[in-house]
Amino acid sequence: MGGGQPPDMGTERTTLRLSDERKRLLDQAAGIVAAGDADDPPRSDVIDAALTHLVQSARNVEDAREDYDPRTIQDIANTDVLGFYYRTSIESRWR
């Protein structure tokens, strides 16, 4: 391998196939990430924000187990992506 420089990890590219549903979700997420009505954030920023939110949400749920009962956590944090069902403890069902 020539040059002796490490590859730039920030330039790895992939192609996303945008179904109508995925485009709708990206448009909704862009509206959340945007600083105002005139702001149009790049999709990469929207995806970064969504991934960061997912990771932070999972961490917040784990941290909340020390302070809240499983039912409260389920009532607050249950979504299609980060979902829980109630037993004697909370178990996640990741997609």
The pLDDT of residue 47 is above 70 = yes
Quick one: pLDDT band at residue 1, thresholds 50, 70, 90? very low
83 DSSP β-pair partners = 93
Q: How many domains does the chain divide into?
A: 1
Q: Coil, strand or helix: which one is 27?
A: helix
Residue 7 has pLDDT above 70, yes or no: no
Instruction: Give the Cα separation of 39 and 60 in Å (integer).
Output: 29
In this prediction, residue 31 has a pLDDT band, given cuts at 50, 70 and 90, of: very high
Residue whose token pair is 């784990």: 62
Residue 50 binned pLDDT confidence (cut-offs 50, 70, 90): very high
21 domain residue, yes or no: no
Q: How is residue 17 written in tokens? A: 């196939």
Q: Is residue 56 part of a domain?
A: yes
**72 in a structural domain:** yes
Four-point Cα dihedral 72, 75, 79, 35, nearest 10: -90
Domain range for 82: 43-95
